[in-house]
Structures are given as structure tokens and as C-alpha cells.
Amino acid sequence: MIPIIPVRDSRPVIARADAATAANAYLKPGIINLSALPPLALYIHFPWCVKKCPYCDFNSHEAQGGFPEEEYLDALRADLESALPLIWGRKIYTIFIGGGTPSLMSAAGLDRLMSDVRTLLPLDGAAEITMEANPGTFEVEKFRSYRASGINRLSIGIQSFNAQHLRALGRIHNDDEARRAVEIAHATFDNFNLDLMYALPSQTMAQATEDIRTALAFAPPHLSLYHLTMEPNTYFAKFPPSVPDDDLSAEMQDMISDATTAAGYQHYEISAYAQPGRQARHNLNYWQFGDYLGIGAGAHSKLSFPHRIVRQARFKQPKAYMQQMAAGHAIEEEVEIGRSDLGFEFMLNTLRLTAGFEPNLFSERTGLGLNAIEAALNAAEAKGLLYRDHKLIRPTLLGQRFLNDLQQLFLVD
């Protein structure tokens, strides 16, 4: 288990030291200096779903016989209240309600949740508030209520418009329900995302092309297109299906790039495509190494303070989480990110952005000078995986294709 590090104040304790000694202490290994705190987002985890998909490694649990909505909402409010001293005075710019299947929540439950959030936190006037939804749970009136409660963006887990592939993926919706869900989203929300996967079991190039063609025909503001992977501790990891080989998968990836570009979408992150101005602001905050408070079962947080950055994890099992929250214990694990790990963690996120980042963002978000990763930058540039100048650092097309290799160059032994 990661050791618990109590956080009570945003500055390290320095006893009986004059100003000069204190200043020097902040420069010793393990201490960083942030000139300003990054933007802050809120993630809320809803851990239940109708049926666990064979590829899913998220913290989700089948809601057999229902779920304790009121008890869980009580726990979420208590969790948020307990976290307030860590984020006091900071504005929330984006909210993401993920799962699981948050659209299982009742309209009244979602309204209560949003009311609690607005009561306890200062929200930016233009906050992006996203909720994940499963096509198998779409009801027109329910989603109108969600919109009235403050949700202004949906992320819909389509995965495929092909009935054969939906069955292979263990999805609870069929191809007609997938199309109906997008139509309801179009009618109810100005902004939404469609999640799709490719390189599916027994998928042909023609079938992958048809999925992308169907998705683009709906003109969604945002598309997330993921390569199916066999994640550890999933059914597919134990019983792998027959999937397209690397060459066919690469051809599918090239097809996706060509089709989305032709339709006017910007490929702004390794798996994300958006119409101009419709990038996912919540996810951009992750990829730019911003801060996020995560509440709910198994939720993770990354929080910055002037002289340290910490990560937290809530209790994972819903029952344990609610019991611990009732006893006043929100956090199961907490650890400070060491100086030697900050470069890798920053680059692990920012290298997912196809347009890269400005060099000064590294210092702004890590409190370190760019020279801390100079050797890795030189190695990546020499391998043709990275482009950089005084205004920009970004992965090359080769770096995007071999992103794992590029990211690992920044991993310190």
C-alpha cells in the first residue's frame, strides 16, 4: 500500500528558521516551487452499471437489485465537504460524472447531486459539466431533467453501431438503441461526445469504416475513438477474442485519421477528435497536468500546493466507501509526487496532445526547470519521436504512433 501522507496545510512546516534558511529549505530535493496553482476540475464517480463489459477495467459493479442512491449521495456530499480545506477558494472549471453508468441515477438524484455541488463549490460561470451515459439507459424525459439540473455535455458509450460487435463487447444496447441515443442527445444537448472502439473482435476494415461513417453522419461535436485493448483483470484478458492484427489495426487508425480530417475534425489528442472549438475541456485539463478533485468510490485526485503535489485515492468498493465516509474517512491512500517523478508524470499526459505544449507550461505545472528533463528531450528528438523549439514541444507523427516508447524515455530509474 502507498503510505498515507496527511495533508493539513499548503506549505511544509519549517520550525525555528529565519527567512533565508526557509528559502533554502524550499529548494532541497523533494520540494518544488509553483508560482501559481493550475486550473481545478471535479470528477465524481458513480460505481454501478447494469452489466460488467468483458473489456472493462474501470471501478464498476453490477447493480443487481438496484443500488443505494440516497446513501451514496450522502457519502458524496460528506466526501466533498471533507475535501474543502484542500481546495478552499479555488474555482471549479469543469465537472465530469463518470462510472460505471451515471445515467442509471434518477433525475431527482442527479438534481440533488448538482445542488450539493453548487452549494459547496464556486463554479465558473461557463463550467463544462459532463455526464457519461449508456444508450441502454436513455429516456427522453430523464435526460431533459438532467439538462435542467445543469448537465451541459453528454459522453455516450456507443462503442459500435454494429449489432454483432455490440454483442461481442457485452453491451446492453443494440444498434437501433445506439442510433436512438444519439438522436436524443442531438435533440436535448448542444454538446456531446460519442465513444467508439475499433480493432474489435473479428472486425473487418469495411465494418470499421462503416462505424466511423455512421458516427460522422450524426455530426457529433466530439468523438473519442479507442483501440480495443486487453486490460489486466478483465474477462477478455483471461479469454482473449480474435482481434485484427497490428497491420490491420494500423490501417484502421489511418482510415479514422483520413475520415475525421475530411469531415472537418481536429485530431487534438491521441484518441480524441473535435469540431473546431469543441475540445473536451475536462480532459484537456488532465492532459495539461491540471488539478482535479475526485470524489466517490475509487476516485483519484491530483492536487497542487505551492511546494508539493499530492495524489489521493478513495476507497474502491462502494460499500466500503460509504462505510468509511460515514465514519469520516474519505481517503484510503495519499502520496506526494517526488521531484524525480514529476517530469515523467507531466510528459505522460502532455505528450498525448498532438499539438504539444509551450515549454513554460512544464515549469508552471511542476515547479521545476526544463533542464530536469533535458536529457530525455534530447534522446526523444534524436530518435525522431519529438519536435521542439523555443515555443513548442510536441510529438512527431512517429512519436504519436509509438507513444509508449516516447513516454518511457522520461521515466527515471
Q: What is the pLDDT of residues 289-303, one digit of tens each?
A: 999 999 999 999 999
pLDDT of residue 236: 86
pLDDT of residue 25: 31
Domain boundary among 285, 301, 330: 285
pLDDT of residue 298: 96
247 and 125 both lie in a single domain:
yes
Dist. CA 392–CA 91, nearest whole Å? 28
230 and 89 both lie in a single domain:
yes
Q: Give every CB contact of residue 109 below 8 A, 6+ residues apart in sequence.
A: 69, 70, 73
Inside any domain, residue 324: no
Q: Give every CB contact of residue 20 below 8 A, 6+ residues apart in sequence.
A: none
109 and 257 both lie in a single domain:
yes
Over residues 45-54, mean pLDDT: 91
pLDDT at residue 154 tops 70: yes
Q: How many beta carbons lie within 10 A of that of residue 217, not counting itself?
A: 12
Over residues 253-273, mean pLDDT: 97
CB 202, CB 171: distance < 8 Å: no
240 and 110 both lie in a single domain:
yes
Partners of 41 in the β-ladder: 94, 292
Partners of 194 in the β-ladder: 156, 223
Dist. CA 271–CA 106, nearest whole Å? 31
Over residues 1-7, mean pLDDT: 31
Lowest mean pLDDT among 113-117, 226-230, 362-366: 226-230
Provide the number of structural domains found in the chain: 2
Dist. CA 187–CA 175, nearest whole Å? 19
273 and 132 both lie in a single domain:
yes
Over residues 43-65, mean pLDDT: 89
CATH number at residue 365: 1.10.10.920
Mean pLDDT across the chain, nearest whole number? Answer: 90
pTM here is 0.90
Look at phi and psi of residue 328 and say left if phi exceeds 0, alpha if psi is from -120 to 50, else beta: left
pLDDT at residue 373 tops 60: yes
272 and 154 both lie in a single domain:
yes
Structural domain boundaries enclosing 278: 40-285
What would the 3-class secondary structure string for the chain be?
A: CCCCCCCCCCCCCCCCCCHHHHHHHHCCCCCCCCCCCCCEEEEEEECEECCCCCCCCCCCEECCCCCCHHHHHHHHHHHHHHHHHHCCCCCEEEEEEEECCHHHCCHHHHHHHHHHHHHHCCEEEEEEEEEEECHHHCCHHHHHHHHHHCCCEEEEEEECCCHHHHHHCCCCCCHHHHHHHHHHHHHHCCCEEEEEEECCCCCCHHHHHHHHHHHHHCCCCEEEEEECCCCCCCHHHHCCCCCCCHHHHHHHHHHHHHHHHHCCCEEEECCEEECCCCCCHHHHHHHCCCEEEEECCCCEEEEEECCEEEEEEECCCHHHHHHHHHCCCCEEEEEECCHHHHHHHHHHHHCCECCCECCHHHHHHHCCCHHHHHHHHHHHHHCCCEEECCCCEEECHHHHHCHHHHHHCCCCC
Query: Rounded to the nearest 5°, which phi and psi values hold at 369?
Result: -80, 155
% pLDDT > 90, the chain: 79
130 and 229 both lie in a single domain:
yes
Dist. CA 69–CA 85, nearest whole Å? 26
Q: How many beta carbons lie within 10 A of that of residue 412, not counting itself?
A: 14
Lookup result for grid cell 470524489:
295
Inside any domain, residue 12: no
Dist. CA 285–CA 264, nearest whole Å? 23
363 and 260 both lie in a single domain:
no
Inside any domain, residue 184: yes
pLDDT of residue 30: 58
pLDDT at residue 93 tops 90: yes
Over residues 359-381, mean pLDDT: 96
Domain boundary among 221, 255, 285: 285
Q: Give every CB contact of residue 349 below 8 A, 6+ residues apart in sequence.
A: 286, 287, 288, 289
Inside any domain, residue 303: no
Largest CA distance in the chain: 71
102 and 181 both lie in a single domain:
yes
CATH number at residue 159: 3.20.20.70
Inside any domain, residue 189: yes
Dist. CA 251–CA 385, nearest whole Å? 20
CA dihedral sign, ordered 187, 123, 294, 409: positive
